[in-house]
Amino acid sequence: MNVQREIQSYIVDNILFGEDGRLTEDTSFQRSGILDSTGFLGLITFAEEKFGIKIADDEVVPENFDTLRKVSAFVERKMNEVKATS
Amino acid sequence: MCGIVGVCELQGGQNVSPHELQRMMAPARHRGPDEAGIYLDDGVGLGHLRLSIIDLQSGCQPIHNEEETLWIVYNGEVFNYVELRQELQEQGHRFYTTSDTEVILHLYEREGPRCVERMNGQFAFAIWDRVNRELFVARDRVGIRPVHYAIHEGRLLFASEIKSLFTLPGLRRELDPVSLDQIFTFWSVLPGRTAFRDIHELPPGHYLKVSRGIVDIKKYWEIPIYDRQEQLQEPAETIGERIAELLVDAIRIRLRADVPIGCYVSGGLDSSGVAALATRRLGVHWNTFGIRFEQEAFDEGTHQERMASFLGSTHRQLWATPQRIGEAFAQTLWHCETPLLRTAPVPLYLLAQVVRESGLKVVLTGEGADEVFGGYDIFKEAKVRQFWSRQPDSTTRTLLLGQLYGDIFHNQNAKRFFQSFFGQGLDRARDPLFSHALRWGNTSKTKTFFSNELKAAIGAADPYESLRRSLPERYSHLDTVGKAQYLETMIFLSHYLLSSQGDRVAMAHSIEIRLPFLDYRVIDLLARVPSKWKILGMDEKHILKKILRPVLPAEIVARRKQPYRAPVVNCLLAGTSGESARELLTDDAVRRAGLFDAGKVSKLLTKLRTVENPSEIDSMALAGILSSHIIHQQFVENFPARPHVSIRPDLVVDQRAGVKAAVSA
């Protein structure tokens, strides 16, 4: 499963309603306004459910969440953690 | 209340036919089921539908002066009519009815257009002066009663409701792209506009005069703005007493009627206050009415019931279930005559039916208190953000937001992002629209669903520019809270709340609402009260609570403000309503209407089918898109060519030259 593509799909379908021109790997969600508070909540819930991970409060920071590239990298790291401990 | 219609030739063309007037009146019958009247003169026609409230016996309209040279059709109640009538009688005017309508006519006779400045009430009326051949149409100060007009083929047409205007063949029926742009920003159009092209509303606080073929519109009142020096300097206790006495008087004169009156009680401070002051100070025993929701988040049942038992009132409740809301959405829209971004008007539509079924025609409500006394969260928010903008990095200052939105802040993730969300635009603290910029910016996200066609038609029109240009020069004298109140009163109150949640849905069931908090003396007095008494620290409506504390249960005064809302997605997309909605919003249908992007709408529907807690923006988008399509169908595509109802007038007055003497049916 391509994590980045899954996340991109989610955002394009549910936040941008198909309009994918605005989203690149490095577009800042906050600065572009693509994701607001509810949008981030939705993304976190999606990531937890889709990829079987648990995201802690203090992990919800711009370094982990502000671009498609960063979220994907973060999610992949978490998925590896789960694999390592199981 | 009542409904009015009229046609006035501007270029000396053909006469108006009674049949034309009857056709205009037919779709507005709900505004006046009791009686109907028509007036005709050369080049002019007036129609009236009556909901009889004062002077049940002889108040049929149109009404005339002693010489039968002035004629009025009137939708409204002027609550100080008793005092005005006395004055006029002392000056020799003679009356043939006991109605307030006749008082207005004589007041106009004596003072001309300035008569409106003496009127304390809610009104939309037209007066025809046969001698000077002038038409005068006026609307109350804040827009409690509606009147719309259009100029078509050399004639001025006016009516309480747009559907009356649309009965005229040849009149174009089309949604206005710039209006849609405003609705999907401000939740309503800006003053003067309607959702439809070339159909205007007479703005609140304005009158219109037709003389020698020229239509002239003038402002006679505006939302008061007082400088700091003009504000009341007395201590809060004294101010509080003055306001209390005025409120009681505002309620007292609004109890004037020849029919029994009820009261809406939501369980909130404002309506509870109205009801309690009336009971305590004026001895009123109430029939009260309230809305109940199955979902806890929306329901105020405990407080309503507490108030009902406290008042000793006979209380009736309307359960606004998702199914009922879904089923009544289209019918509500027919009455509101505009796309809506919320479903909140629907339970009020249903509640008015309960009032009707209980045999009442009039209710008092608490509307207007939030605007006048500083009740909305958006006012507090504005204060906090203003404070925050001076030190954007201060964590202490952002904690204030936590105070405001404590409940939403359970979720830590939400809290962090909420802070960044509210932190946006702090650098624009000096923008006159600062207080509302967030709300409107948020709402504007729904415009992503606009079709390319619609976007092109809107072009470069900027809703914020239009708004800025219409603000009075003195607006800059207001402080942050004052500006927020001004914007809320001018736009939200006058163009959304009083209409879609007020007059239209109540009138749909022939119910008249009366609003003591919008007595112009109350508005004026409160405008002179310093902001600190309205929002003291974070305590909203501080001075109102002070006034009401002695007459209300402590728990009602202490309640956290709960804005009135109704659920959206589970009402519109579930069950049979959901099926109708999906039929209306198929790719084909959306493409044909041309207003929204079919692909995006389809994705929104998919998302809403699966997501557990739809976001506010998605809910607004759904309501906005669906209601736009329904309005398009009802008014543009399938507007009924022939009326379902035929009007048989109880009174016809025909003063046209060449027609024999006036006939009474």
Assign A36 a pLDDT band (cuts: 50, 70, 90).
Answer: confident
Kindly state whether residues B215 and B283 are assigned to the same domain. no
Average pLDDT over residues A7-30: 89
Total count of domains within chain A: 1
Kindly state whether residues B186 and B240 are assigned to the same domain. no
pLDDT value at residue B407: 44
Q: Which of B558, B584, B605 is the last residue of a domain?
A: B558
From chain B, pick out residues whose CB is under 8 angstroms from the CB of A16: 448
From chain B, pick out residues whose CB is under 8 angstroms from the CB of A36: 417, 421, 442, 445, 617
Kindly state whether residues B325 and B185 are assigned to the same domain. no
Backbone angles phi, psi at B152, to 5 degrees: -145, 125
Instruction: Tell me if B448 and A30 make a contact (CB, 8 A cut-off).
Output: no
Helix orientation angle between A68-85 and A3-14, rounded to the nearest 10 degrees: 130
Kindly state whether residues B44 and B159 are assigned to the same domain. yes
Kindly state whether residues B213 and B244 are assigned to the same domain. no
pLDDT value at residue B480: 84
B615 domain residue, yes or no: no
A85 Cβ under 8 Å from any chain B Cβ: no
Integer-rounded Cα Rg, in Å, for chain A is: 12
B448 domain residue, yes or no: no
Instruction: Identify the contact set of chain B against chain A, taking CB-CB distances under 8 A.
Output: 411-414, 416-418, 420-421, 442, 445, 448-449, 597, 599-600, 603-604, 606-607, 611, 615-617
Q: Are B107 and B125 in contact (CB under 8 A)?
A: no
B567 domain residue, yes or no: no
Q: Which of B197, B223, B249 is the last residue of a domain?
A: B223
Closest to B277 measured CA to CA, from B257, B303, B252: B252
Q: Are B38 and B21 in contact (CB under 8 A)?
A: yes
Domain range enclosing A13: 3-85
Assign B5 a pLDDT band (cuts: 50, 70, 90).
Answer: very high
Q: How far apart are CA B111 and CA B120, in angstroms?
A: 15
B44 domain residue, yes or no: yes
From chain A, pick out residues whose CB is under 8 angstroms from the CB of B439: none
* CATH, residue B137: 3.60.20.10
Q: Give the best-scoring range by mean pLDDT among A16-25, A77-86, B309-318.
A: B309-318
CA distance B483 to chain A (A): 26
pLDDT tens, position by position, B275-300: 999 999 999 999 999 999 998 889 99
DSSP string, chain A: --HHHHHHHHHHHHTSTT-GGG--TT--HHHHTSS-HHHHHHHHHHHHHHHT----GGG-SHHHHSSHHHHHHHHHHHHHHHHHH-
- The answer on pLDDT for B413 being more than 70 is no
Q: Which of B192, B223, B254 is the last residue of a domain?
A: B223
Q: How far apart are CA B128 and CA B125, in angstroms?
A: 10
Instruction: Tell me if B615 and A17 make a contact (CB, 8 A cut-off).
Output: no
- The answer on pLDDT for A39 being more than 60 is yes
B403 domain residue, yes or no: no
CA distance B606 to chain A (A): 9
Kindly state whether residues B351 and B203 are assigned to the same domain. no
Q: How far apart are CA B427 and CA B434, in angstroms?
A: 10
From chain A, pick out residues whose CB is under 8 angstroms from the CB of B587: none
Kindly state whether residues B351 and B367 are assigned to the same domain. yes
Kindly state whether residues B246 and B122 are assigned to the same domain. no
Instruction: Tell me if A41 and B414 make a contact (CB, 8 A cut-off).
Output: yes
Q: What is the mean pLDDT of chain B?
A: 91
Chain A interface, mutation test: which of B405, B410, B413, B617, most A Cβ atoms within 10 Å?
A: B413
CA distance A62 to chain B (A): 10
Instruction: Tell me if B616 and A57 make a contact (CB, 8 A cut-off).
Output: no
pLDDT value at residue A54: 87
Average pLDDT over residues B218-233: 92
pLDDT value at residue B241: 94
- The answer on pLDDT for B387 being more than 80 is no
Instruction: Tell me if A19 and B411 make a contact (CB, 8 A cut-off).
Output: no
pTM for the structure as a whole: 0.90
Q: How far apart are CA B173 and CA B166, in angstroms?
A: 7
Kindly state whether residues B160 and B40 are assigned to the same domain. yes
B479 domain residue, yes or no: no
From chain B, pick out residues whose CB is under 8 angstroms from the CB of A17: 448-449, 597, 599-600, 603-604, 607
Assign B219 a pLDDT band (cuts: 50, 70, 90).
Answer: very high
Average pLDDT over residues B58-87: 94
A73 Cβ under 8 Å from any chain B Cβ: no
Average pLDDT over residues B186-196: 97
Over pLDDT 70: what percentage of chain B? 92
Kindly state whether residues B219 and B232 are assigned to the same domain. no
B595 domain residue, yes or no: no
Question: Can you read off the two tokens belonging to residue B634?
Answer: 């009802």
Q: Are A69 and A25 in contact (CB under 8 A)?
A: yes
Average pLDDT over residues B473-483: 89
- Facing B603 at nearest CB: one of A18, A36, A57: A18
From chain A, pick out residues whose CB is under 8 angstroms from the CB of B604: 17
* CATH, residue B274: 3.40.50.620
CA distance A29 to chain B (A): 12
- The answer on pLDDT for B24 being more than 70 is yes
Over pLDDT 90: what percentage of chain B? 76
Which letter, b or e, does each residue of B474-498 get, where b requires 16 or more Cβ atoms within 10 Å of its Cβ?
A: ebeebebbbbbbbbbbbbbbbbbbb
Q: Which ranges in B503-574 belong to alpha helices (H)?
A: 504-507, 520-527, 531-534, 542-548, 554-558, 569-572
Kindly state whether residues B119 and B134 are assigned to the same domain. yes
CA distance B419 to chain A (A): 9
Kindly state whether residues B91 and B42 are assigned to the same domain. yes
Instruction: Tell me if A57 and B412 make a contact (CB, 8 A cut-off).
Output: yes
Assign B563 a pLDDT band (cuts: 50, 70, 90).
Answer: confident
- The answer on pLDDT for B127 being more than 90 is yes
Between strands B44-50 and B2-9, the pairing is antiparallel
Total count of domains within chain B: 2
Domain range enclosing B290: 228-373+484-558
pLDDT value at residue B404: 56
- The answer on pLDDT for B663 being more than 80 is no
Integer-rounded Cα Rg, in Å, for chain B is: 25
Assign B416 a pLDDT band (cuts: 50, 70, 90).
Answer: low
- The answer on pLDDT for A49 being more than 70 is yes
* CATH, residue A80: 1.10.1200.10
